[in-house]
Amino acid sequence: MELEMPLYELSRIAEAYIYKDPFSYIEIENFLDPFWHETIAKNFPDEEQMVISAENSRQLDIVSDPGVKRTLDGSWGYKSRLDRDKIEFWDVFVDYFMGNDFKTSLLTKFEITHDNNYSCARLNIDKKGSGLGPHIGRFDKIISLILCLDNNNKAGNINLLRPKNKNFVADNRHHGHEDFEIIMEIPYRQNKMIAWETTRDSFYSFHQEEETNRRTLNFFIQREMDPRNIWKVIKETKQYANDWKKDIE
């Protein structure tokens, strides 16, 4: 498969306005070139080709996260689960979007200097009942990016949050909503991208309440570090992963 890789997305990032409340983020409508958006949607895997990653969620790795131990044997990756035509497409995607230019454009936008980093990405389907409680993301993350692929007005929002107590101490847990106020509700819309710098203040959450599937591409820039340290933190905090559900049940 031969696909020409435009620089459209890089210019969109460079021109984006950086919002500062409640933390630094960019929000870009119509982020992908129309051809790219249509082609990614066309080559999105079927639900049965993806892995059950959590209750009511499906995942397929484009580039696996070394901090997630269960994915490292390649069984969650697209090369082990898709047909040849789709594998060829995602190979091309990796060459462009997982390359240095795209990563550098995001780091430059947020004025971040960090040499020891890498990119990883995955595709997700979130079904009714799925969600993430208020959290800041794992401590090794530098930038998080979510791209919505569907025109679905039932897909809900991503909520940007601020702790009600200014002395609230961030950690790697998913907290209950009662300790946070929603500063911004960003609706999931087709071809919308939101990216933010992961800091001690970058709390966000979502909850898929409607009977619908939300398809997203999730991209991360992360610090290079011993994955065993990440595995330890994940193991320690896993017991709190569903605490956020207590205040919605």
Encode pLDDT of 46-95 as tens digits: 999 999 988 889 999 999 988 888 888 999 999 999 999 999 999 999 98
Range of the domain at 78: 22-247
Tell me the C-alpha distance between 10 and 215, whole Å: 23
Helix (H, G, I), strand (E, B) or coil at 133: strand
Does a structural domain hold residue 14? no
Alpha helices in 76-163 (DSSP H): 84-97, 100-109
Query: In this structure, is residue 9 part of a structural domain?
Result: no
| Of 242 and 50, more confident | 50
On whether residue 202 sits in a domain, the answer given is yes
Residue 234 phi, psi (nearest 5): -60, -45
Mean pLDDT of the residues in the chain: 86
3-state class percentages of the chain: helix first, strand second, coil last, to nearest 5: 30, 30, 40
Q: Which residues contact 105 (CB under 8 A, 6 or more apart)?
A: 10, 13, 14
DSSP code at position 175: P
- The answer as to whether 8 is a domain residue is no
Which neighbouring-strand residues pair with 215?
A: 125
166: in domain? yes
CATH number at residue 137: 2.60.120.620
Q: Does 13 map to a domain?
A: no
**How many structural domains are present in the chain?**
1
- DSSP H or E segment with residue 68: none
The answer to whether residue 16 is domain-embedded is no
Question: What pLDDT digit, counting tens, does each position of 122-172 carry?
Answer: 999 998 888 888 988 888 899 999 999 887 767 678 999 999 998 888 877
